[in-house]
Structure 1
Amino acid sequence: MMLSRRKLLAAAALTLALATANAGSQPADRVAVFESANATQLAASQKGKPFVLVVWSLDCVYCKRNFDAIGKLRAQRPDLRVVTLSMDSADALPQVQQLLQRVRLTRNAWLFGQEPQERLRYAVDPDWMGEMPRTYFYRADGQRQGVSGVISDADWNKHLRWAGIAG
């Protein structure tokens, strides 16, 4: 019952955010600060299109594998929408920007703000315990699937198809 209530509240918040998506969206190549209050803005920034949200950190060794896979996928599908969310603090911004430039994912980038990490993780997904990498596949209607760990090539294709992203 509690999980259903959470999903219903998340869907309602996403619907509201999608309706107001044009109000105050971030510039495309700037790393925006992610606070729990703007969690719906992250999804709304994609204006109802399917996309992939990649949650990562500079000290996550396995996150590099996901970035490599995303690089290959974007070479095959240049229209693949990717949003990144770094769990690093604001003082790591130069290193975050440098890595995002190297992997060519500077558009739609976010960085954890000053709130406690637990609160920020909860805002992303109440059921997520912080394991990384964490990847979310969003459908155009706002439904999403979260996947923890490194994703195999076959699983990337499976999840992209589920999200309605051509594959």
Structure 2
Amino acid sequence: MMRSRRQLLAAAAAATVTACALMLGTADAAGQAADRIAVFDSASAARIAASQQGKPFVLVVWSLDCVYCKRNFDALGKLRARHPDLRVVTLATDRAEASPQVQQVLDRVRLSRNAWVFGHEPQERLRYAVDPDWMGEMPRTYFYRADGQRQGVSGVISEGDWAKHLRWAGIAG
């Protein structure tokens, strides 16, 4: 059966409306997911650096069972109060199944944006993707300069050392 030109145009218009509705729904879901935790795989380290668009930032690697990581979050909260434009990305080394608990901690310390959690690849591969020289000690904090250079620091960072590293990265004067 041959369709008329009018029927074809009506079908095309209906398909366009449906496609637009689907795209709007997807865009809305993407907007709602902005504060959700992303799953980190071995290619994510490059995506994280690229997502900061050549601006200095801090990458905080932590875990739910790391007592010392909580101290770093406390210091980071104070820093963000003084430097509200401080760009922070968090990476929990916990498995993706722990995302609800990770989200609770990040919400409590107001670091729920730009949050990641380890995916299902082997832990060693994911650690290597972050930094081939990192052996897994935590907390681990990376200070990135706008030009992509970075410094990694293991352990709890003192207030004076935060200031020193932030100056090196060009984040605070």
Give the partner amino acid of 2:76: I
Cα deviation code 1:22-79 (max 9, x no counterpart): xxxxx64121100002220011111110000000000000000000000000000000
Q: Which of 107, 118, 141 does residue 112 from structure 1 map onto?
A: 118
Higher gyration radius (CA): 2
* Percent of aligned pairs with the same amino acid: 83
Cα deviation code 1:72-93 (max 9, x no counterpart): 0000000000000000001111
SS in 1 for 2:73: helix
Matched, 1:30 2:36: yes
Match of 1:18 in 2: none
Cα deviation code 1:84-127 (max 9, x no counterpart): 00000011111000000000001100000000000000000000
CA distance in 2, matches of 1:46, 1:72: 22
Match of 2:6 in 1: none
Q: Which moved more, 1:29-38 or 1:47-56?
A: 29-38
Match of 2:74 in 1: 68
CA distance in 2, matches of 1:38, 1:147: 20
Kept after mapping to 1: 8 A contact 2:163/2:172: no
CA distance in 1, matches of 2:171, 2:99: 30
The change in CA–CA distance for 1:97 and 1:149 in structure 2 (over 3 A counts) is same
What does 1:22-101 align with in structure 2 at a 5 Å threshold?
A: 28-101=34-107
Aligned residue pairs, count: 141
Matched, 1:155 2:135: no
Kept after mapping to 1: 8 A contact 2:40/2:116: yes
Runs of 5+ consecutive residues of structure 2 not aligned to the other structure: 1-32
Q: Which moved more, 1:41-50 or 1:128-137?
A: 41-50
CA distance in 1, matches of 2:146, 2:34: 20
